[in-house]
Amino acid sequence: MSEESTTHASRSSLSGNAIAKLLVTLLCSMAAIALRTMHVHLPPIEGLFVFGGAVLSAAFILAWAAEALQVDIAKGLAMAVLAFIAVLPEYAVDLYFASTAASKPEYAQYAAANMTGSNRLLIGVGWSVVALCSVYAALRKRDPNAPKDPSPGVTLGEGYGVDLTILCAATLWSLTMPMFEQIAIWNGLGLLLLFGFYVWRVSGGADAEPELTGVASEVGSLPKVRRRLTVAVLLIAAAGTLIAAAEPFAEALIGTGEHLGVDRFILVQWLAPLASEAPELIVATIFALHGHGSAGMGALLSSKVNQWTLLVGTLPIAYSIALGKPGALHLDSRQVEELVLTSSQSLLGIGVLLNGRLEAWEAIVLLLLFLVQLPFPQANVRYGLSMLYVLLAILLFIRYARYVPQHIRLTFSKNASVEE
C-alpha cells in the first residue's frame, strides 16, 4: 500500500487497510505475551522468529503511536517522550543484556554488540538509503529539459546544526569508553547530560503542524477522545510486548548462534537492531520516496543522537541497578574495537553532514564502508576501517570548516542560523 504523507485532516474512523495493519501487528504482539504468560519455552530458532516478530511488531506500533502522539502534546514534552519511545525496542533488549551481565559477565559483550550494531546500521544503511531514495525521487519528478543537478543528494532542514553539535560531543565523549575499556556510570551520566541539553535545546523551536504518514496519519486525524484512547492502547500494547518478548528474543539470538554454530556476537549485533529499527527505516525511506527526504533524514539524525546519548547512557545504570551497587560494564578487546569503529563511523557521519547535505556519492561511500566490515570481523580490519573513517572525517572537516562555528553558535544561540 502507498503511504502518503499528510497532515492530520479530521476523519471519523480508520480505513480498512490501517485496521488490517494494526490487527496483524497486535496479533503478533499478543502471541508473544500469551506464550510468556503460559511459560511456553520454544526452541531457539522458533523463538527467534516468534519473539523477533513480536519485537518488530512492537517497533511498528511504537512508531505509529509516537507519530500520532505529536498531535496532542507540546513540542518540548513531545521531544522527550518521542526520543524515549524511539529507543524503546533497542533499550528493551540492551537493558536485558546489561542487567543480566551483573550475574553473567559474559552478557556484557551482547549489550555492546546490540548498541554498536544499532548505531552503525543507522548511518551505514539508514542515512545512505534515505539519501539515495531522495535522489531517485528527484530524478523521477525532474523536468527532462531542466539542467541536471551536479551534486544530487538530500538537504537537511533548519536546525540540524544542533543535532550535529550534540552528536559530535557525544562521539568524542564515547571515545572514553574504549580508552578505559569500560562503560562506567560517569560515561553514562555524561551522555545523559548531553541528551538532556539536546531535548531542552530543540524544544525551544516554534510549534509546527506534525507531518504524519500512513497509519499514524489516520490515527492522528481521529476525533480527540478516540485518538488519545487509540494511542494509549497502542503504547500499552507495545510496552507489554517488549516486556514479554525482550528476554526470550535475546536468549533466542544466543541459542540460535549456538545451535547453528554462528558467532553469537554477530547475530546479536545485526539481527536485534534489524528487528527494532526496521519500522523507523521504512518510514524514513517512504518519506524520501515521496519527495520528503529532508524529513526522513532529520528523523534518522535525531534517532542517532538519541541512541548515542540516551540508549548508551542508560546501560551502566541498568547494570548497576541489577548489581546492587555502582559498577561498570567491562569491555574486552573485541568490544573495544567495535566501539572504536562505531565512534569513527559517527565522526565521518558528522563530517558528511556539515554542509547540510548528504550527497549521493557520500551516501554510497557510507554504505560501502558499512558493507565491507560485515564479512571481515578481524581486529586489524576493524582498526584499519576506523583509521579510514577518521581520515575521511578529517578531510571533510577541513573542507567544510566554515560551517563548524555556525553550528556551534546555532546550538547555543536561538537566533543563529546556518548560512549556505
Kindly state the percentage of the chain with pLDDT values over 70.
89
Residue 344 Cα to chain centre, angstroms: 17
Residue 75: is its pLDDT beyond 80? no
What pLDDT does residue 333 have?
93
- pTM metric for this prediction: 0.86
Q: Pick the residue with more confidence: 197 or 299? A: 197
In one-letter notation, the amino acid at residue 202 is V
The grid coordinates listed for 395 are 578531510
Q: Mark residue 151 as left, alpha or beta (left: phi above 0; alpha: psi -120 to 50; beta: remaining).
A: beta
What mean pLDDT do residues 111-126 have?
93
User: Is residue 5 included in any domain, yes or no?
Assistant: no
What pLDDT does residue 87 have?
72
The pLDDT tens digits of the residues spanning 221-269 come to 888 899 999 999 998 998 899 989 999 999 999 999 988 888 899 989 9
Residue 416: is its pLDDT beyond 50? no
Segment holding 285, helix H or strand E:
helix 264-289
What mean pLDDT do residues 182-196 have?
95
User: Is residue 420 included in any domain, yes or no?
Assistant: no
User: Is residue 3 included in any domain, yes or no?
Assistant: no
User: Is residue 44 included in any domain, yes or no?
Assistant: yes
User: Residue 27: how many CA atoms within 13 Å on its side-chain side?
Assistant: 6
What mean pLDDT do residues 306-316 have?
92
User: Is residue 295 included in any domain, yes or no?
Assistant: yes
Residue carrying C-alpha cell 503478533: 28
Residue 57 Cα to chain centre, angstroms: 16
CB 410 within 8 A of CB 161: yes
Q: In CATH, what number is assigned to the domain containing residue 65?
A: 1.20.1420.30
The pLDDT tens digits of the residues spanning 80-104 come to 566 567 678 888 898 899 999 999 9
182 forms beta bridges with 330
Question: Which residue range is the domain that position 308 belongs to?
Answer: 11-412
What pLDDT does residue 245 have?
92
> How far is it, in rounded angstroms, from Cα 416 to Cα 420?
13
User: Is residue 232 included in any domain, yes or no?
Assistant: yes
User: Is residue 6 included in any domain, yes or no?
Assistant: no
Q: Pick the residue with more confidence: 380 or 207? A: 380
What pLDDT does residue 9 have?
55
Q: Pick the residue with more confidence: 201 or 383? A: 383
The pLDDT tens digits of the residues spanning 127-168 come to 999 999 999 988 887 766 666 666 788 998 777 899 999 999
Q: Mark residue 416 as left, alpha or beta (left: phi above 0; alpha: psi -120 to 50; beta: remaining).
A: beta
Based on the structure, what is the number of domains in the chain?
A: 1
